[in-house]
A and B are shown apart, each in its own frame.
Chain A
C-alpha cells in the first residue's frame, strides 16, 4: 500500500514537473524553429518555406517573395476579414486580389497583414486584371454615376474602377470595382498610399473552358 502511494505521488509530481518545464522551456523551443529565419512576429502566422515560396512563384500564385501569411483558421464567409499587423515592420505595401477565389490580401514588408472576401465585377462589367496602381484615395466618396456611397475608395483606373467599402454578400457583383467589407476597407485605406501596387489575378474570363 505504501509503495503504491509513493509511486502514485511520484508519478503525479513527475507529470506536473514535466508540464512546468515545458512551459519554461517553450520560448527557446519556439525560437529554434528553423522555418523562421527572422524574429517571429506575434499572432498566428504561417511562415513560408523556400520550397513553398518557389513553388508559389513558379505556379503563378505569387509574383514576388512573401515571408508569411496570416493563419486563417476557418474558411472566410462573405463579409469576413482578418487583419493583424502587430509587429510587422514598415515597408512597401502591395495588394493581391484573386478574383477566382474571391479574396484580397494586403502585404507589407513581405508579411500578409490583412485578408478579406471580396465582391467583384459582374459578367458584363468585368474587373480589369493585371498590375494596377492606386491612383487616388477618397475617404468619403460618393459615386455620381451610380448614386451610391463608396467610402474608403482607392481608385485604380482612370475610368473609375476602385477598391472601396461595399456590402459583401453572396451572389452580389459590382460594375467592375472591388468591394471589400467596410471595416477592412478602413484599415486598407489607412495602410495603402497612392502609388502602391495592386495585382489583380484570376480573372474568370481567362479560365480555360
Chain B
C-alpha cells in the first residue's frame, strides 16, 4: 500500500501510471479468480462438464473396469467354508495338547535324572520314629536341617537358632552352591493343608459377598 501511495504522489510519471495499471489488472484477475473459486456450484459444474466430456469418450467396459475391485486371484485365495458334515466329524475328536513346560522347567532346563529312592543311609522320616535323632533345642523348629539332611540354602542365620543359645547350637550350614532341583516331584493332589486353606478362602469370600449383599442394594435381576 505504501508503494501505491508512493506512485500516486507522482501522478504525471509514466512509471506511476504503469504501476497503477498493473496493480489494477492484478487485482481484477485476483478478484475474478476468488469469485469463481468461492462459488462451489460453479466449480462443481465446471468439473462435471469436464468429467462428462471425458466420460463420453470412454467405453462402457472401461467405465465398469474403473469401479471394479479387480479380478479375483486364482486358486489359493478363494477360500471355501467347509460343509457342516465335515465340521461335525472334527468336533467329535477331543483335542490333544502336548504338555507345555512350566516357567521353572524352562529356566532350570531338563530335570536331572532323579533317583527313585532316597539314599538308604539317611532315612527321611526317622525323626518321628521311635528312636529320634538327638536334635539340639535351637534347631528343632527346622527339622530339615537336622543330621545329614539336605543342605540349607541360605546365607543368613536361621531364625531361632541364635536366640535359643546353649552349648548345643550348631552353626547353620552356609553354602553358595546353586540350588538343587527338588528330587521328589510335587504330587498332583494338594495336601490337606492346601485344601483347608482353599476352603477357608472360599468361605471368607462367601462371607464378604453375603455381607455386601446385605449392606448394599439388591441387584435388579435377582
Q: Which residues of A contact B (CB under 8 A)?
A: 1, 3-4, 7-8, 11-12, 14-16, 18-19, 22-23, 26, 33, 35, 46, 48-49, 52-53, 55-56, 59, 61-62, 66, 69, 71-72, 74-78, 98, 100-103, 105, 115, 117, 120, 122-125, 145-148, 170-175, 204
Could you say which residues of chain A place their CB within 8 Å of the CB of B199?
A: none
Could you say which residues of chain B place their CB within 8 Å of the CB of A72?
A: 66-67
Check if A56 sits within 8 Å of B61, measured CB to CB: yes
Check if A55 sits within 8 Å of B41, measured CB to CB: no
Considering only residues 52-85 of chain B, those with a C-beta below 8 Å from chain A are 52, 55-56, 58-61, 63-75, 77-81, 83-84
Bound-state CA distance A78–B68 (Å) is 10
Q: Which residues of B contact A (CB under 8 A)?
A: 4, 8, 20, 23-24, 27-28, 31-32, 34-36, 39, 41-42, 45, 52, 55-56, 58-61, 63-75, 77-81, 83-84
Bound-state CA distance A117–B68 (Å) is 7
Could you say which residues of chain B place their CB within 8 Å of the CB of A146?
A: 81, 83-84
Among A11, A62, A74, A148, which residue has the most Cβ atoms of chain B within 10 A? A11
- CB A18 to nearest CB in B, in angstroms, measures 7
A-B contact count (CB 8 A): 141
Check if B24 sits within 8 Å of A7, measured CB to CB: yes
- CB A116 to nearest CB in B, in angstroms, measures 10
Partner of A48, one of B35, B60, B65, B73: B60
Partner of A1, one of B4, B34, B73: B4
- CB B123 to nearest CB in A, in angstroms, measures 66
Check if A204 sits within 8 Å of B72, measured CB to CB: yes
Query: Which chain A residue has the least Cβ–Cβ distance from B78?
Result: A173
Check if A102 sits within 8 Å of B69, measured CB to CB: yes
Partner of B83, one of A66, A145, A204: A145
Contact flag A19-B39 (CB < 8 Å), given A52-B60, A75-B66, A147-B84: yes
Bound-state CA distance A119–B17 (Å) is 71
Check if B60 sits within 8 Å of A62, measured CB to CB: yes
- CB A17 to nearest CB in B, in angstroms, measures 9
Check if B65 sits within 8 Å of A101, measured CB to CB: yes
- CB A10 to nearest CB in B, in angstroms, measures 8
Could you say which residues of chain A place their CB within 8 Å of the CB of B20?
A: 1, 3-4
- CB B118 to nearest CB in A, in angstroms, measures 60
Bound-state CA distance A147–B64 (Å) is 34
Q: Can you list 28 contacts pairing A with B, beta carbon distance less than 8 Å? A: A3-B20, A3-B24, A4-B20, A4-B24, A4-B27, A7-B27, A8-B31, A11-B28, A11-B32, A18-B35, A18-B36, A19-B35, A19-B36, A23-B41, A26-B41, A35-B52, A55-B59, A59-B59, A72-B67, A101-B70, A102-B69, A120-B72, A122-B78, A123-B74, A145-B84, A171-B78, A174-B80, A204-B71
